[in-house]
Amino acid sequence: MTQPATVLMPRDHELVRCAWSLGWATSAVLTEVVAPQTAVRFVTRRLRKLTAAGYLRRRRVIGGSGHLWLYGAGRNAPTLDPGYRDAWRPSDAQVLHTLAVGETLAALLTPGRLGALAVTSWRGEAALRTWHRPGEPVADLHVEWSAPGGEVGGWYVEVDRGNEARNAWRRKLVRYVHTRGRVMLVVTTSDARARNLALLARELGVPALTTDTAALRIDAVLRVYDSIKGVRRAVDE
């Protein structure tokens, strides 16, 4: 018997866009980013239907405590947006990094986490790769924000899992030196590493804010090291 066609709702388009832009995402991250007021189990049920209809694809990653299902753009995603064709996805070696990027995005979107700042839009690596020019760094995320007084801005977000040496970070930061107008937000593994990366960015003249994963997830208002001002401050100051 022929299965009835899946009728897409506006939220379905956002789920597919999020999965495409991040490369791969868990149902928990997709829920937090797209439908934070909805239980994960209900979103997961919808993700399975979108996978069956070909708008998403699914893969399983085995971990120490079981497995995770990851979702990315499927074969029918280009019917929603031609830009989803030939979707970028991270290599197997990058999957854990990609999951950390998704969790970082969800934390940045948590109401109040950025104080008076509100994220107005975001793009993941797949979207950034579509628009980047040769020689420019490709960040993990780009988020745009607005402040109550009308000020707007944006950050190129780099997620550091603590496995890159100082020289590797120096090379990465130098690429930002030559790409004017970009402000980095670096999320790393510890407060000490965040401080050291801020000092390195300050040495190279790169405008960067650095913080750690625990602060991003726990602080009522995120605190960051500011490489330009040379201080630690609330992110919205």
- From start to end of the chain, where are the E strands? 25-26, 56-63, 66-73, 118-124, 141-146, 152-159, 184-188, 208-212, 223-226, 231-234
Identify the segments of the chain with pLDDT beneath 70: 1-5, 63-66
**pLDDT value, residue 3:** 55
**pLDDT value, residue 108:** 96
- C-alpha span between 187 and 124 (Å, rounded): 15
Q: Domain boundaries in the chain?
A: 10-87, 106-234
**pLDDT value, residue 4:** 60
Measured from the Cβ of residue 115, the count of other Cβ atoms closer than 10 Å reads 16
Q: pTM to 2 decimals?
A: 0.92
CATH of 10-87, one of 2.40.10.10, 1.10.10.10, 3.40.190.10, 1.10.3720.10: 1.10.10.10
Contact 223, 208 (CB under 8 A): no
**pLDDT value, residue 1:** 45
Q: Which of 90, 35, 79 has its CA nearest to residue 56?
A: 79
3-state secondary structure (DSSP) of residue 202: helix
Taking CA atoms, 151 is separated from 117, 183, 213, in Å, by: 9, 15, 26
94-123 residue pLDDT tens:
998 999 999 999 999 999 999 999 999 999
